[in-house]
Amino acid sequence: MGYPKLEGDLEPKYRFYKHNAEKVISELGAKGLLEQLRRMLLIRNFELRGEAAYQHGKVGGFYHSYMGQEAIQVGCVAASGVSHWYTTTYRCHALAMLLGATPNEMMAELYGKATGNAKGMGGSMHMYADRLLGGLAIVGGHVPIATGAAFSIKYLKQKGLASFCFMGDGAVVQGAVHESLNLAQLWELPCLYVVENNKWGMGTSIERALAIDPIAENLAKAYGMKSYTFDGMDFFNCYAGFKEALNEVLKTSKPVLIECVCERFRGHSISDPGLYRTKEELQRTMERDPILLLKQTLIEHGMLTEEQFKEMDKEAREVMIAAMKFAEESPWPDVMTLERGVYADG
Amino acid sequence: MQTVEIREALRQAIDEEMARDSRVFIMGEEVAEYNGAYKVTKGLLDKWGPERVIDTPICENGFAGLAIGAAQTGLRPIVEFMSWNFSFVAADQLISNACKAHYMSGGRFSVPVVFRGPNGAAAQVSCQHSHNVEAIYGNLPGFIIIAPSNAYDHKGLLKSAIRCNNPVIFLENELCYGDKMEIPTEEYLVPIGKAKVIREGKHVTIVSYSRMLKFCKEAADELAKQGISCEIIDLRTIKPLDIATVAESVRKTHRCVLVEEGHVFAGISAEVGFQVMEHCFDDLDAPLQRVCSRETPLPYSKPLEKETLPNKERILFALQEVLR
């Protein structure tokens, strides 16, 4: 296949999971693959529209775009299904949508409206679904929560379920992460810890923050865990890798540590112009746009035409424009209700 | 009836709730094989096994967060902090996750977890092991905070806490685990959010909770000899605060002293006192007085420790001030 390779010295550093793309293609078929592409386009268009709304002053707070990393969570959910527990960071829009949150409720949450995903209480960084525990925005602080979900699965003897915990490379140095890895391995909890290594903790490169590199391979050793490294820009690698890793966790009831090497196309958040990366670096990165890579493969396999792709992108855009309209027209939360929900009933 | 120590009352509460609900489990440092640093969990491992009575490594941030995650996904954990001082290591989990998850998720996830353990000073354990955490966690919306003073309330309130669908901060006291009291053999609950008048009086109201009530009673006994009767209120639950019971008493006595083991600045007494002012301004015949820990870390040396904490003499002085 004609994928551009990872640039420079990256390749020898990471030992990527070896997948068979043809096997994934026959497994998912044209219909399944087009659905994954559609999901990636929905996420991409949600982020584009969310950012636009932000620029127009419709959205406040912090806004962390998932653009560029779509292959990871799309691949994960396609391979694993939506019945597991999931937990992620403030960069949570993609996962919320993949786990069932609608573009309308998510856009309304960005706008702070009563119809929002969290009724306007959470905002961009705190989105949820029935199996998504958040949208949690203290770096590393959500990792024990995901570990607790794995604990529940084991305690309740729920066969075939696991807990997925996404975190950034910046979180890896937090104590909460190390404590979680130790507990999960010690107690044999079915948890998949997924480090999305986009190489930057805000504006600090991993070289300046982490004493180890690669992350998963080195860190997993310290806790006697199995590790995987995926090419986070390649849907096929992520899909096949997550499938294998989940099987391993379900078979052994032990956690695994996964590193997805990727790049974000935007700054850390919307207010970050990303001056620490050169234009050339970013351009090179965007040549490996996960959406374009998947599109290219589908075209090569006669499953998609350029025209159809444009149509899919247009449809996704229209969904998001409609979501913006929904959000715009939705009512503000009633200020009389602002003190409700601090406590659960009972 | 049965006569039990507070540690046994707590053990019974945990044991009964574990029998009642298979989702209830207890975890913490030394709770299982060691039978608890203060023997509160004695025998529970033998009865319930290692799946439900769980020794943790020394990683409060990790296991407190794990318990919160477990609570959000269908279980009802009880977490023992060997001391509430160690909860600061887990502060991010308590503050950023436990007390915010329900609100932040638009009501999607509740967090039925109890964090319990000894709070406040013990016997000369010095600066880092003597903190009172109620004012710190009390400042955060989303927590229930309970601080009982006797075996009856410890048992009944812990059972209610375990059944509560919100994160509960349950404060015990190392120096009181051995305090005995006669309590019913049959099951009972004590409702969360209800203060109790533990001694009726007419000249002054003393509001306190937990171990400090001992000194309040001693001071009240002293004044009784002079014909002055003190009404003593045990808050039992700090949050939600039962200000109605306090206000009713102050409207009767017209004078009020607040006694708290924690620090003066932004303490529980500051809050209760302000609410007394809001509810009873016209009923007060004297400015409120409060007796709290002085504004220092708790010193080790015995005479210094005694003078730093509220004690009978300091409470008497405050009472005499409001009665002048």
**CB–CB of A124/A51 below 8 Å?**
no
The runs of H, that is alpha helices, within A172-255 are 175-186, 215-222, 235-252
Q: For position A89, which CATH number holds?
A: 3.40.50.970
Q: Is residue A80 situated within a structural domain?
A: yes
Instruction: pLDDT band for A281, please (50, 70, 90 cuts).
Output: confident
pLDDT of residue B204: 98
| DSSP for residue B299 | P
- What percent of chain B is predicted at pLDDT more than 70? 100
Interface of B with A in 213-252 (CB under 8 A): none
Considering Cα of B199, then B201, then B203, then B205, what sign does the dihedral take?
positive
| Over residues B27-53, mean pLDDT | 98
| DSSP for residue A138 | S
Q: Is residue A272 situated within a structural domain?
A: yes
Domain ranges of chain B: 2-183, 196-323
Mean residue pLDDT across chain B: 98
pLDDT digits (tens, 9 = 90+) for A24-74: 999 999 999 999 999 999 999 999 999 999 999 999 999 999 999 999 999
| DSSP for residue A223 | T
Interatomic CA distance for residues B18 and B24, integer angstroms: 5
Identical fold, B2-183 and B196-323: yes
Closest CA to B26 of B87, B106, B86, B80: B80
From chain A, pick out residues whose CB is under 8 angstroms from the CB of B24.
Answer: none
Nearest to A146 among B69, B71, B109 (CB): B69
B102: annotated active-site residue: no
Closest CA to B311 of B140, B121, B49: B121
Residues in chain A: 346
**CB–CB of A101/A164 below 8 Å?**
no
| DSSP for residue B3 | E
pLDDT of residue A1: 42
**CB–CB of B219/B212 below 8 Å?**
no
| Over residues A178-203, mean pLDDT | 97
Tell me if chain B has a CB within 8 Å of the CB of A181. no
Mean residue pLDDT across chain A: 95
Tell me if chain A has a CB within 8 Å of the CB of B183. no
| Count of structural domains within chain A | 1
Instruction: pLDDT band for A176, please (50, 70, 90 cuts).
Output: very high
Tell me if chain A has a CB within 8 Å of the CB of B22. no
pLDDT digits (tens, 9 = 90+) for B62-107: 999 999 999 999 999 999 999 999 999 999 999 999 999 999 999 9
Nearest to B96 among A141, A179, A346 (CB): A141
> Which CATH number, 3.40.50.1370, 3.40.50.970, 3.60.130.10, 3.40.50.300, labels domain B2-183?
3.40.50.970
Domain that holds residue A188: 36-327
pLDDT digits (tens, 9 = 90+) for B209-264: 999 999 999 999 999 999 999 999 999 999 999 999 999 999 999 999 999 999 99
| Residue A162 tokens, joined | 């696991």
Interatomic CA distance for residues B109 and A126, integer angstroms: 12
Three-state secondary-structure class, residue B103: helix
**CB–CB of B243/B197 below 8 Å?**
no
Other C-beta atoms lying within 10 Å of the C-beta of residue A250: 14
Q: Min CA distance, A58 vs chain B (Å)?
A: 20
Q: What are phi and psi of A139, to 5 degrees?
A: -55, 120
pLDDT of residue A2: 47
Tell me if chain B has a CB within 8 Å of the CB of A112. no
pLDDT digits (tens, 9 = 90+) for A245-272: 999 999 999 999 999 999 999 998 988 9
Residue B118 exposure: Cα atoms within 13 Å on the Cβ side? 23
Q: Min CA distance, B90 vs chain A (Å)?
A: 9
Predicted complex ipTM: 0.96
**CB–CB of B180/B5 below 8 Å?**
yes
| Over residues B171-198, mean pLDDT | 98
pLDDT digits (tens, 9 = 90+) for B100-135: 999 999 999 999 999 999 999 999 999 999 999 999
pLDDT digits (tens, 9 = 90+) for A283-330: 988 999 999 999 999 999 999 999 999 999 999 999 999 999 999 999
Instruction: pLDDT band for B296, please (50, 70, 90 cuts).
Output: very high
**CB–CB of B200/B231 below 8 Å?**
yes
Tell me if chain B has a CB within 8 Å of the CB of A342. yes
pLDDT of residue A3: 53
Q: Min CA distance, A130 vs chain B (Å)?
A: 8
Q: Is residue A11 situated within a structural domain?
A: no
Instruction: pLDDT band for A9, please (50, 70, 90 cuts).
Output: very low
E strand map for chain A: 85-88, 132-135, 163-168, 191-197, 200-201, 204-205, 226-231, 256-261
From chain A, pick out residues whose CB is under 8 angstroms from the CB of B137.
Answer: none
Q: Which CATH architecture has domain B196-323?
A: 3-Layer(aba) Sandwich (3.40)
pLDDT of residue A153: 98
A4 pLDDT above the threshold of 60: no
Interatomic CA distance for residues A181 and A73, integer angstroms: 21
Per the listing, tokens 């390749």 go with: A11
Interatomic CA distance for residues A162 and A252, integer angstroms: 11
| Residue B244 tokens, joined | 């109605």
Instruction: pLDDT band for A13, please (50, 70, 90 cuts).
Output: confident
Interatomic CA distance for residues B145 and B161, integer angstroms: 9
Closest CA to B95 of B136, B130, B146: B136
Three-state secondary-structure class, residue A108: helix
B200: annotated active-site residue: no
pLDDT of residue A285: 87
pLDDT digits (tens, 9 = 90+) for B217-229: 999 999 999 999 9
Other C-beta atoms lying within 10 Å of the C-beta of residue B88: 16
CA-CA distances (angstroms) from residue A317 to A290, A310, A312, A324, B317?
Answer: 18, 10, 9, 11, 73
Q: Is residue A337 situated within a structural domain?
A: no
A12 pLDDT above the threshold of 80: no
pLDDT digits (tens, 9 = 90+) for A127-170: 999 999 999 999 999 999 999 999 999 999 999 999 999 999 99
